[in-house]
Structure 1
Amino acid sequence: MAQETTQQVPPSAPTAPARALLPFILPAVVVGVAASLVFVGTSAAAERLRRVLWGPLPDALGVGRHSVLWMSAVLVATGIAVGLVVWKVPGHAGPDPATVGLSAPVMAPVVLPGLLPATGLMPAGGPSLGPENPVIAVNVGLAARLGVRLAPRRPDTLWPAPAESATIGALFGTPVAAALVVSEALAGQPMRGRLWDNVFAPLTAGTCGAVTTALVAHPSFDLGLPPMGRPRGADVLAALVVAPAAALLGMCAVHAFPYVHAAFARLRHPMLMLPAGGAVLGAPAALGGPLTLFKGLSEVGVPARDPEGWSAGRFAAMAVVKPAALLVAAACGFRGGRIFPAVFAGTALGLAAHALVPAVHPSLGVATGVLGMLPAITRQAWVSLFTAAVLVASPAVVALLCVASLPAWLLVTGRPQMQLRADGGPVR
């Protein structure tokens, strides 16, 4: 009987010897550092331009920095600038961003010179998108092309995964997010050897990218919310309500995405689509105020630092306006990612729940709001759980997040994603 049982157990995947993994270390380190520097450099250039556009320039013109007139003018001007890049620069800044997800394909070298300035202009001008998708695409393209030239004996498939992992590590300032994304991507693919053997090079690159960013830019995701005590039964109920509510709100934007994209696509030309998108974005900016502009990571810290100083209606308005702004910016052709705007929307919804029902702890509201919003918008479950946990830095929340993730995921899995196929239909 024991022999039969032993024979029925499938053999485990063989572990790679150390000598097979050691050659990956140096390329992964180089890719990790380089990817971080591309991200930090692009972000620094965008931040300098942002300070000019929203500081000395309106002051010199005698216009309020965050008046409706100035916000609308800058958004339209940003659409014109990005439209010129997409129209005139060779490669047209890559494919339609509505058809590209977080994991970018290896794009042709001609695409990269246009994609990088389009990425830098967007966060400076105010559209509600983050830098992650285009920066990942740039780093994957650079790593793939330069890697083949500098190390022609290495396989072509060596470079994209570490470049993507390094960029994610740089974005979040920790390699944990990169490891989770890579592990989730590998879950649906056949693997040779153990999981940790397959993530060794990407994790090395992600670690180097995160460390480089931490040394140069000092990123922080902690919103400074008050820590939670021991969870109570009411906290479980709150988590089971807030996370699905956030997921439903996010899915409203997802279901509207193909229709909004089709409306802008009828304009057919980037010099019409992008300025029109900038003009439409003026309405959410006027309704939600300047905090609902930009990618949202630094802006969300303002209400989070004072959860008692804002009304439930104000928080709810921001929670609705931000996904609407994300929807328009992603549909009209701006190059950018959706993680950070979704974080803002989930945070605002969680704070609205706390303002409406004070018994909902603000840390719990924020964490579960983000946990529900992110899977709906990005369909990245592990990143959603990780981001929700690090935003509040409260260990007591983690167990509640695991509980809340189940109904939230049931609401979004198998349904349309905020990404389109080439024919305009939603990816499922």
Structure 2
Amino acid sequence: MVNEHQQPTRPPAAEAPAGHPAPSAAGDVPVAETGDFWLLLGAAALLGVFGGLFGLVFMWLLRLGQGWYAYSSPGWMGGHWWWVAVTAAAGLVIGLLRWATRLPFKTPGLIADLQDQYVNPRLVPGILLVSTASLIGGASLGPEKALGSVGGGLGQWMAARRRLDDEGRGATTLSGMAGSYGGLFSSPIIVVMMIVEVARPGGAKLTRVLVTSILSASISFGIYFAVAGTVFLDLYAVPSFSYQNWYLLAGVGIGLLAAVVSTLLGVTVTASGKLFDRLRLPDLVKSIIGGVLFGVVGVILPLTMMTGTDQLGVVLKEGATLGLGLVAVLVIAKMITMGVSLGSGFIGGPIFPSLFIGGTAGVALHLAVPSLPLGLTFTCMLAAVVGGFVSAPFAMVLFAAFTTQIGALNATPVLLAVITSFVTVEAVRFLLARRGRPRADAGAP
């Protein structure tokens, strides 16, 4: 239930340029025998190099810019009131940047970019500037939108310059996004799985996307690892626990709870976006209001600020000290700040804050039911909430297993939790779409 802003229609498929074989609907021509395939590999390699280098610079700038964030306590009222001035100023800067770059108030979201396999290169400079200001300003969003837009936009531009066909443009765009994420997610496997699950390329295109994304993500990871090391591997050290058969049933139950959290997150983000849309105010004022709102929440609950990566580690370590009530409130508050950030014109990705929400909900579940091991509840909810929210279940299983190092055996309940959450959320989407269909049909001439 990701809230995606309305997106410009993707350009129609172009006819195959002279000298390039036309795509075969029957798929009777092997992919490797087409000239475009080798052009795609070359482009993927270049995009991997660019993605690794750009990712290093971008994440370094974010770390430098976010240095103002230091709370006195992770509990109630642990922030500082001058934070509100910073977040409000961020809203003002974002409004001015949108005006200067002529960036629309509603821009395509990360999931829409992946599903449409298209990034408008003309929007990339504005998205990069606004997203950078958003993340430095403390918005509850992640860096994956900016990185994906830069990599995908460059891939789209390269494909247009080489006059690739529609499938080639889509594969190059996705390989550009894979190159941007190769170092960020610390594993090319996770990156490729996420792209395939969300974009869902079919037929011969799947082979192109797989090969080019693996190449691009692997090169990017190699560059990123050589300079900065891994980002997420072993990030969340959960207490070890021994596998029990009844954990399989527990995984199904945790998956149902994760589906509720995921659905509530989608409703919160959607409702927040509609609320800001109804405000008869200039876009710049909306951004300032949004900055003030999540800034005030941040003063009260400082762990709701920023992307949530480091903050989730604090919740995992100090959950018992914070208490069940505060941890549960953090889950709801992070949903609100994420919705406010997206609805008021800030730009960022939905994955990182969703990870905070899922992991924190897992800590809350353990505090409420101590018989469930913390390692089990945290890992299951971490993967299942995001897996249902962005429709990437298997990628999130890999991500949770890699970041917590729970082992192959204990990953089985996590897999059941993620699949349960994914299927439940998809069922809810289907029912909502089916419910809205008669109204549309009744109003049609």
> What TM-score does the superposition give when structure 1 sets the normalisation length?
0.82
- Which residue is 2:138 aligned to? 126
Q: Which moved more, 1:289-298 or 1:398-407?
A: 398-407
- Which residue is 1:413 aligned to? 426
- Which residue is 1:141 aligned to? 153
Aligned equivalent of 1:280, options 276, 293, 309? 293
Instruction: Render the CA deviation track for 1:50-83: whole Å, top value 9, x for unaligned.
Output: 11x336xx99xxxxx9634123222211111111
Percent pairwise identity: 20
Q: Distance in 1 between matches of 2:143 and 2:41?
A: 27
Q: Distance in 2 between matches of 1:226 and 1:78?
A: 38
How many Å apart are 1:198 and its aligned residue? 4.4
Aligned equivalent of 2:64, options 48, 58, 68? 48
Q: Distance in 2 between matches of 1:387 and 1:153?
A: 33
Contact kept in structure 2, 1:93 and 1:113, CA below 8 Å: no
- Which residue is 1:217 aligned to? 228
- Which residue is 1:420 aligned to? none
Q: Distance in 2 between matches of 1:100 and 1:122?
A: 20
Q: Which moved more, 1:97-106 or 1:303-312?
A: 97-106
Q: Distance in 1 between matches of 2:32 and 2:127?
A: 40
How many Å apart are 1:231 and its aligned residue? 2.6
Q: Distance in 2 between matches of 1:299 and 1:250?
A: 19
Instruction: Render the CA deviation track for 1:375-428: whole Å, top value 9, x for unaligned.
Output: 3432222222222222311113211112222321232004459xxxxxxxxxxx
Find the residue that maps to 1:120 and give its secondary structure: helix
Instruction: Render the CA deviation track for 1:23-64: whole Å, top value 9, x for unaligned.
Output: 54332121012022222222211221111x336xx99xxxxx
Q: Distance in 2 between matches of 1:39 and 1:197?
A: 24
Aligned equivalent of 1:400, options 381, 405, 413? 413
Task: Give ranges in structure 2 of 5+ residues lacking alignment.
Answer: 1-25, 431-445
Count of residue correspondences:
394
- Which residue is 1:117 aligned to? 129
* Residue 358 (str. 1) matches residue 370 (str. 2): yes
- Which residue is 1:204 aligned to? 215
How many Å apart are 1:12 and its aligned residue? 10
Q: CA RMSD in A?
A: 3.1
Q: Distance in 2 between matches of 1:183 and 1:109?
A: 22
Q: Which moved more, 1:17-26 or 1:402-411?
A: 17-26
Contact kept in structure 2, 1:98 and 1:330, CA below 8 Å: no
- Which residue is 1:6 aligned to? none
| Letter matched to residue 38 of structure 1 | F
Mapping of residues 74-223 of structure 1, within 5 Å: 74-92=86-104, 95=107, 97=109, 100=112, 102-103=114-115, 106-146=118-158, 148-149=160-161, 151=162, 156-185=169-198, 187=200, 189-192=201-204, 195-196=206-207, 198-221=209-232, 222=234, 223=236
Contact kept in structure 1, 2:197 and 2:391, CA below 8 Å: no
| Letter matched to residue 214 of structure 1 | F
How many Å apart are 1:92 and its aligned residue? 4.6
How many Å apart are 1:16 and its aligned residue? 4.4
Q: Distance in 2 between matches of 1:157 and 1:80?
A: 35
| Letter matched to residue 209 of structure 1 | S
* Residue 230 (str. 1) matches residue 243 (str. 2): yes
Find the residue that maps to 1:172 and give its secondary structure: coil
Contact kept in structure 2, 1:178 and 1:206, CA below 8 Å: yes
- Which residue is 1:4 aligned to? none
- Which residue is 1:248 aligned to? 260
Aligned equivalent of 1:262, options 266, 274, 279? 274
Instruction: Render the CA deviation track for 1:121-149: whole Å, top value 9, x for unaligned.
Output: 11111110001123211211122224544
How many Å apart are 1:202 and its aligned residue? 1.4
How many Å apart are 1:118 and its aligned residue? 1.1
> What TM-score does the superposition give when structure 2 sets the normalisation length?
0.79
Q: Distance in 1 between matches of 2:405 and 2:290?
A: 37
How many Å apart are 1:102 and its aligned residue? 4.7
Contact kept in structure 1, 2:31 and 2:208, CA below 8 Å: yes
